[in-house]
Amino acid sequence: MAKAGTRTSLLALLLLILLHFCVGSVTALRQKLGNQGQEASGGNDRYVVVFNAGTLHTEVHVFRFDENANLLKIDEKLEFFDQDFSFKSYAENTKGFANLVATLLEKAASVVPTSLQPESPLILGAEDELLYLGEEMSDKILQVVHDLFKKSSLLYKPEWVTVLPAAKQGAYLWGTINYLLGNVGSDYSRTVAVLAQESASAQMTYALSAKAAANAPMFSKGEQYIAMHHLQESTYYLYSHGYFPYGVYALRAEVLKYTNDTYTYCVTNGYNGQFKYHGEAYNVISAPSGSNYEKCKANVMRALHLNATCRVKNCTFNGVWNGGGGAGVDRLYLARGFYDAGSDTNIAGKPSTELRLLDYQKAAKMVCEVKSFEEAHILLPVVDLVELPYSCLDFVFVYTMLVDGFGFDPKMMVTAVKEVEYAGSIMTVQWPLGAALELVSSSNTRKNDI
């Protein structure tokens, strides 16, 4: 009996040990699967599908958020992304553009769980370049999108399909960058300012205190300089303004119109051609001595209209209020065209690079000193050959706008940014994430007005 009791006790002990390991393994497995399950499909997850109808591509982004508007991964990535040709390629073929959007929409919808599709917003923001196709054509293109989105299984509202104002695009990009940097939820003074350059406009955006926002002047056309922007549980007061015509291509047209049919010091030596922008053609002839930094800068200064009437206190250029300054603009991030200019000359050698504004001046002088197209190509091998003759103008403009236009100290340290690391992944900074974030935040209870 004693031996039988001993065997029984040993058997029971072995069973307990085995059960312990089994429970531990099951618990660990559940935790692992539970984490993966949360990444794959959560009960309170929210999806947002955002189309960016840009001048170079038509893009679709799908984002996934938890109930607190925190970004979650989709198949180990921070977003689903795909792209195709721009609306400009279909200016006379709206049916072709409809097929393009339909294909991208089908791909995007397949990412969203079927049960969540009826409550997952579907947005399209078209860059303001669309308007240059003419009212009739731009309306046709947008109507194509409306017709497609109405039939979608995703949540559609007519106001979510629109030409995106430059100031709004700038605010969304500001939201993207500050969210990825972990600044959202902090005081406005801990956020960064964002200056971006697109094809038609440059966009300056930064946060102000509630008091400063309350005292902001009106824009001359009756528009507001300041807008409230909701991110997660916080509300920010943003100065966001689209500076026209100071995008990459619009600025070239603005400068070259002063030298049309005469030679210019802003293009590479030996160049003789035409620059076309929205139906206007400008004859471009290089000066006999080639490009020249100081003489090109004089043309850029003229195009900036630095002496334009300023109807409020503190203007930047072309009579536009500067937002009043403050802590929200102490740290400046340069994106899109401003980043590209730094990347082309390797002063921004990484996707996120700190540099001084003087580095842009050094790059501009170096580019303007080249004496031939071949020399320019050696110096700037990544620049498209069609764009290469205008490199001196582009670089001179970047530095002149930042220092003479916005009044920043040439020695100021800034960050040229294309990508930001977030949650172990690399995220390209674009406005769609900011748009999606604001949309999911708008239905959350906000605790802070910052």
Tell me what pLDDT residue 345 has.
87
Least confident of 182-186, 217-221, 222-226, 307-311: 217-221
Query: What residues form DSSP beta bridges with 238?
Result: 207, 227
CA-CA distance, 112 to 170, in Å (whole number)? 27
Q: Which of 19-23, 86-90, 433-437 has the highest mean pLDDT?
A: 433-437
Task: Give me the mean pLDDT over the 83-88 stretch.
Answer: 92
Tell me what pLDDT residue 32 has.
33
pLDDT higher than threshold 50 for residue 28: no
CA-CA distance, 123 to 145, in Å (whole number)? 10
pLDDT, the chain, mean: 88
356, 414 in Cβ contact below 8 A? yes
Query: What are residue 188's phi and psi, to 5 degrees?
Result: -55, -30
| Closest C-alpha to 371, from 284, 270, 252, 277 | 270
Tell me what pLDDT residue 129 has.
83
CA-CA distance, 26 to 37, in Å (whole number)? 15
268, 290 in Cβ contact below 8 A? yes
Task: Give me the mean pLDDT over the 92-97 stretch.
Answer: 90
Task: Give me the mean pLDDT over the 32-61 stretch.
Answer: 73
pLDDT higher than threshold 70 for residue 403: yes
| Closest C-alpha to 170, from 398, 414, 334, 406 | 334
pLDDT tens profile 239-255: 999 999 999 999 999 99
Q: How many CB atoms lie within 10 A of CB 70?
A: 13
Task: Give me the mean pLDDT over the 201-209 stretch.
Answer: 97
**Chain centroid to CA 79:** 15
Between 266 and 15, whose confidence is greater?
A: 266
Which residues does 346 contact at the CB level (< 8 Å), separation at least 6? none
pLDDT higher than threshold 70 for residue 5: no
Task: Give me the mean pLDDT over the 284-291 stretch.
Answer: 95
Query: What residues form DSSP beta bridges with 240?
Result: 205
Least confident of 10-14, 25-29, 146-150, 338-342: 25-29
- Number of residues that this document lists for the chain: 450
pLDDT tens profile 128-142: 888 888 888 899 999
DSSP assignments along 328-372, one per residue: GGSSEEEEEHHHHHHHHTTSS-SSEEEEEHHHHHHHHHHHHT--S
Name residue, tokens 């708008």. 442
Tell me what pLDDT residue 279 has.
85
CA-CA distance, 310 to 350, in Å (whole number)? 38
Tell me what pLDDT residue 41 has.
53
| Closest C-alpha to 310, from 321, 323, 325 | 321
CA-CA distance, 121 to 103, in Å (whole number)? 18
Q: How many CB atoms lie within 10 A of CB 171?
A: 25
Task: Give me the mean pLDDT over the 62-91 stretch.
Answer: 94
Least confident of 116-120, 263-267, 346-350: 346-350
Least confident of 11-20, 68-77, 166-175, 212-221: 11-20
